Amino acid sequence: MRKTRKTSAKAAAPEAVDLLVRGGTVLSLDAENSIYGDGAVALRGDRIVAVGPRRELERRCRARRVLDCAGRLILPGLVNAHTHAPMTLFRGVSDDQELLTWLQKYMFPLEARFVSPEFVRWGARLACWEMIASGTTTFADGYFFEEEVAKAADEAGLRAVPGQGIFDVPTPDARNAAEGLARAERFLADWQGHPRVTPALCPHSCYTVAPETFGKIRQLAARYGALVMTHLAESQGELAMVRERYGTTPVRHLAACGALDANLTVAHCVWLDDEEIGLLAARGVGVVHCAESNMKLASGVAPVPRMLEAGVALGLGTDGPASNNDLDMFGEMATVAKLHKVHTLDPTALPAETVLRLATRGGAAALHMESEIGSLEPGKKADLIVVSAEGPNALPAYNPASQLVYATRAEAVETVVVDGRILMERRWLRTLDTEAIRRHAARFARRITAALPD
């Protein structure tokens, strides 16, 4: 494969490319937010070679294959920067409960009883189906038996940052932190260097993982150059626990542990003061806003406009399907755009363009992958989606960002390309055995239903 390079429009001989996605409105989401009304994107191997007006790219490129997208929107694949993919199998199992009831009566006993490599495998496969079908091309995950999530993402063709979950307490895959760390190290060793699957560590939180364990996790991460992901400042309950135990706030506690750095990605960040926001920005910590989960679990509303103003590297995540209840980044965008308007009583807060950036470039930045993904630019990974504008809710089309954020539903995603490979074409899924996934999901659901408390 030839090395990616930016070619000039004046190049005499046309350049060979593998795939030319052409004819729709291209939203590059590059630094200038370039939009091409009748645009095209040329891909070679796993990389984007060129982005621009269709006619120019047709002149410059000789494509092995062409994907005609007239009347459609072409944009970077969405980045779901925080989820727990295998929890698809717990979707809707115990909604609308008090948090402690939800955790102690339902989730913890169900996880202890059902979470196995097989559960994680089928849950993650179901999640990959749902994510591809809704336009996500990269997801960051945290759960148990995370090698099964990595395998599921690999098979599905998705880009992923699976994070092996680490707790101090016993979990379905480790009796204690030492076992968890050993398993995490095997996971990093096994998956390092994979072109799409970037193994990471996921200590659950600073109230379930002691500072000493956090220290060992940081050392392990440093040895492998791996990302650390955790939950942070999600609820008032967490604040109270951390204050009681450490006499400070979750962000300051993690800073004191030496864990706040550009190798860290934290989810939620609902309860922050301005000094903490400044600290997250200054240390280059990636933050993932999970609006729908924070709403459904009544955690609170994260100070997103203030984080953006402070320059925090901010992306969006659905959180796990037990607390959202889906992996739909279009739904998440629509919610994010509206939630912060009503929360600040400012209808200009988080315009559609900003929200679309959060769901693409922002997620890439939050995962410290902004040089590789998050926009359609030459040299970046060939991850893109094609969105139909056929449905009645897409008519008329005045502003593509408004259309995508406020009126598009996930079913409008027609085609999904990751690493230059077409994973879904005109809604036809090319990498998944959806009938097998359906069968196994039903099988787990029967067992889980039988085990539910009254």
Of positions 335, 360, 388, 415, contacts a copy of itself by CB under 8 A? 335
Cα separation, 310 vs 314, whole angstroms: 11
As measured in angstroms, the least distance from the Cβ of 79 to a copy of itself is 19
Query: Which lies closer to a copy of itself via its Cβ, residue 254 or residue 327?
Result: 327
Cα separation, 17 vs 42, whole angstroms: 7
Cα separation, 393 vs 166, whole angstroms: 43
Binding range to a copy of itself, per CB under 8 A, among 42-50, 151-159, 413-421, 439-447: 439-447
If binding is defined by CB under 8 A, does position 35 make contact with a copy of itself?
A: no
Ramachandran quadrant class, 353 (left: phi over 0; alpha: psi -120 to 50; beta: rest): alpha
Query: Which lies closer to a copy of itself via its Cβ, residue 164 or residue 403?
Result: 403
Cα separation, 85 vs 116, whole angstroms: 14
If binding is defined by CB under 8 A, does position 349 make contact with a copy of itself?
A: yes
What is the DSSP secondary structure assignment for residue 407, as one 8-state letter? Answer: I
Query: Which lies closer to a copy of itself via its Cβ, residue 79 or residue 133?
Result: 133
Binding range to a copy of itself, per CB under 8 A, among 22-30, 189-197, 271-279, 348-356: 348-356
If binding is defined by CB under 8 A, does position 263 make contact with a copy of itself?
A: no
Binding range to a copy of itself, per CB under 8 A, among 166-174, 221-229, 321-329, 380-388: 321-329
Cα separation, 401 vs 351, whole angstroms: 9
| Exposed/middle/buried for residue 244 (C-beta within 10 Å: 0-12, 13-18, 19+) | exposed
If binding is defined by CB under 8 A, does position 210 make contact with a copy of itself?
A: no
If binding is defined by CB under 8 A, does position 104 make contact with a copy of itself?
A: no
Q: Which of 424, 425, 429, 390 is nearest to 408 (CA)?
A: 390
Of positions 68, 95, 190, 212, contacts a copy of itself by CB under 8 A? 95
Cα separation, 77 vs 422, whole angstroms: 12
Count residues contacting a copy of itself (CB under 8 A)? Answer: 73
Query: Which two structure tokens, joined as six digits, stand for 129?
Result: 């189906």
Angle at 140 between CA 377 and CA 363, to 5 degrees: 40
If binding is defined by CB under 8 A, does position 130 make contact with a copy of itself?
A: yes
Q: How far is CA 33 from the centre of its chain?
A: 21
If binding is defined by CB under 8 A, does position 296 make contact with a copy of itself?
A: yes
Contact flags string 160-199 toward a copy of itself, x per CB under 8 A: ----------------------------------------
If binding is defined by CB under 8 A, does position 74 make contact with a copy of itself?
A: no
Query: Which two structure tokens, joined as six digits, stand for 353?
Result: 């363009």
Of positions 189, 397, 436, 451, contacts a copy of itself by CB under 8 A? 397
Query: Which lies closer to a copy of itself via its Cβ, residue 281 or residue 355?
Result: 355
Please name every residue paired with 41 in a beta bridge, in sequence order, or none if there are none.
21, 51
If binding is defined by CB under 8 A, does position 152 make contact with a copy of itself?
A: no
